[in-house]
Structure 1
């Protein structure tokens, strides 16, 4: 399988190089030498050498050409060594350390191609590399830094092992609660929105699962369902019959504090509100609950 991927990457590199010449971009893309045999080696070479033939004085002012080149550059990131990506990104950014306009231009494309809804894939680590160059540049205004600061903080607080950000919400009964007020050996936080076609099935599966119910009743598991939309009358009616042991609330600003680019989204927290798992499916949660319940039953019998 890896050989197939390597062949595809090689073909893609050659195709990009030929296309660059055909559409008259200002520089030719590099091709990895045949002496490099592994996927990681070849893509890392391309990433490291990508901008070598670029005449930035011509490319940067031409937004369309730069955007296309950056998108092609990013396409190799998933397969390259992290160290090569870091060195390449630092070299590109250091070239423009005294040019805040160029740094913002690069960061905007990193946002579009590594973080935003149009991105071909998400890479938090690589996006943060580019975002930090904005935050560290003294010539860039606080206003221009603000959206990158918000995203970096949100991403850092959404990683496994991090303490989840404090998120306040309005419960289905109208009270104001927050995540840190919820206790349990494990806390499953399920974020949903109005576009969630599968949410009714997800809730039904959780509500009828023997292991989930046993863990909830024993206090080992706390279920928290947070709607990231407004607490409309329709929503209140929909959640009125959720189990009374569940904490159910609405937090329209939740995406400012935790990564919710995938919806619905399930985070599993420990009793200190640290993230154990993220971007979980309901199947993953049910398997974990089954194992926890088996452990609980074994301990009880002993």
Structure 2
């Protein structure tokens, strides 16, 4: 009866979210060349025996305290040295997905502590197990199409890896690059300025836009999901009939002629970016949406269009 928090708010439903087919175009930028790759559908975890985390002591009564206890003690009974876990990866993935859902219910500080404790246990037990868990954490927290995507939590993972004395410099190169990029344009910060070019050849800057809110829409004409979002942005009153909102559509790739041939609404600012865009913004996938306030501070980063609609409807 004290295991109820393990099943917080329908954790199993969280795994079901991973059936969502990746419909964005992924862009590989891990310190090497930028190139589009196809996205795989994330497998559903079904009918697996769940890992049983520790029982919450009966004297811990409030929901918040019980969540914190589990966040910090969740992996106490998991045998990280048991290599048979690799023969049943669904069970391990289920346990981690449940845990990440739990971390979403606690404070950032507790979440960071929990992630450090998890990685300590995995690294101490077995380097292969550590690689397995860090791979899963990247998959869930960093990949653009994951419903568990969480930059703050993944920063904790990357900071752990790059600070560890037990991990080689070579193995830190990719995490260090990811950390550098993920720290750019964080929520609440003023976003990086850049110059973009319009179809008439004139150039302007992001920070030069005077608007209460700016929707920054990185997109590619060949991207199906970009076309869906483009349709939403041209149909809903919260965008079309809202004088407080300006849409900057930006093409960040190399086929400028394709961009020139593609029609965009006259009410939008439609431009293409220069090579600096990929140095200034962590564009893991296309499309990518930012909502900026009047001072060009980031309100929402890499957000689903639905989140931007909800925010603006409250404005």
Show the counterpart of 1:225: 249
The one of 176, 180, 183 aligned to 1:149: 176
Task: Give the whole-Å Cα distance in 2 for the aligned partners of 1:77 and 1:158.
Answer: 23
The one of 31, 52, 75 aligned to 1:51: 75
Q: Does 1:105 align with 2:105?
A: no
Show the counterpart of 1:9: 8
Alpha-carbon offset, residue 161 of structure 1: 2.2
Task: Give the whole-Å Cα distance in 1 for the aligned partners of 2:145 and 2:217.
Answer: 24
Show the counterpart of 1:160: 187
Q: Does 1:72 align with 2:72?
A: no
Which one has the largest radius of gyration?
A: 1
Alpha-carbon contact 2:252-2:277 (below 8 Å) kept: yes
Alpha-carbon contact 1:199-1:264 (below 8 Å) kept: no
Task: Give the whole-Å Cα distance in 1 for the aligned partners of 2:293 and 2:147.
Answer: 29
The one of 114, 123, 127 aligned to 1:88: 114
Show the counterpart of 1:126: 153
Show the counterpart of 1:295: none
Alpha-carbon contact 1:107-1:134 (below 8 Å) kept: no
Show the counterpart of 1:31: 55
Q: Residues 246 and 105 of structure 1: is their aligned pair in 2 closer, same or farther, counting only changes over 3 Å?
A: same
The one of 180, 191, 202 aligned to 2:233: 202
Task: Give the whole-Å Cα distance in 2 for the aligned partners of 1:56 and 1:40.
Answer: 27
Larger proportion of helix: 1
Task: Give the whole-Å Cα distance in 2 for the aligned partners of 1:253 and 1:60.
Answer: 46
Q: Does 1:246 align with 2:236?
A: no
Alpha-carbon offset, residue 166 of structure 1: 4.7
The one of 214, 235, 239 aligned to 2:259: 235
Question: Residues 202-230 of structure 1: CA distance to partner in whole angstroms, max 9, x if unpaired?
Answer: 14668995652xx6xxxxx8652213455
Q: Residues 231 and 98 of structure 1: is their aligned pair in 2 closer, same or farther, counting only changes over 3 Å?
A: same
Question: Residues 227-278 of structure 1: CA distance to partner in whole angstroms, max 9, x if unpaired?
Answer: 34554545323346624x835225698566146668452321444x432454
Alpha-carbon offset, residue 10 of structure 1: 8.3
Alpha-carbon contact 1:9-1:39 (below 8 Å) kept: no
Task: Give the whole-Å Cα distance in 1 for the aligned partners of 2:242 and 2:49.
Answer: 61
- The two structures, once aligned, show a CA RMSD in angstroms of 4.3
Q: Which runs of 5+ in 1 are unaligned?
A: 14-21, 216-220, 289-302
Q: Residues 122 and 138 of structure 1: is their aligned pair in 2 closer, same or farther, counting only changes over 3 Å?
A: same
Name the TM-score, length of structure 2 as normaliser: 0.63
Task: Give the whole-Å Cα distance in 2 for the aligned partners of 1:142 and 1:28.
Answer: 36
Task: Give the whole-Å Cα distance in 2 for the aligned partners of 1:47 and 1:236.
Answer: 51
Alpha-carbon contact 1:190-1:264 (below 8 Å) kept: yes
Q: 3-state SS of the aligned residue for 2:262?
A: helix
Name the TM-score, length of structure 1 as normaliser: 0.65
Task: Give the whole-Å Cα distance in 2 for the aligned partners of 1:49 and 1:70.
Answer: 13
Alpha-carbon contact 1:187-1:224 (below 8 Å) kept: no
**Higher RCO (C-alpha 8 Å, min separation 6):** 2
Task: Give the whole-Å Cα distance in 1 for the aligned partners of 2:196 and 2:125.
Answer: 43
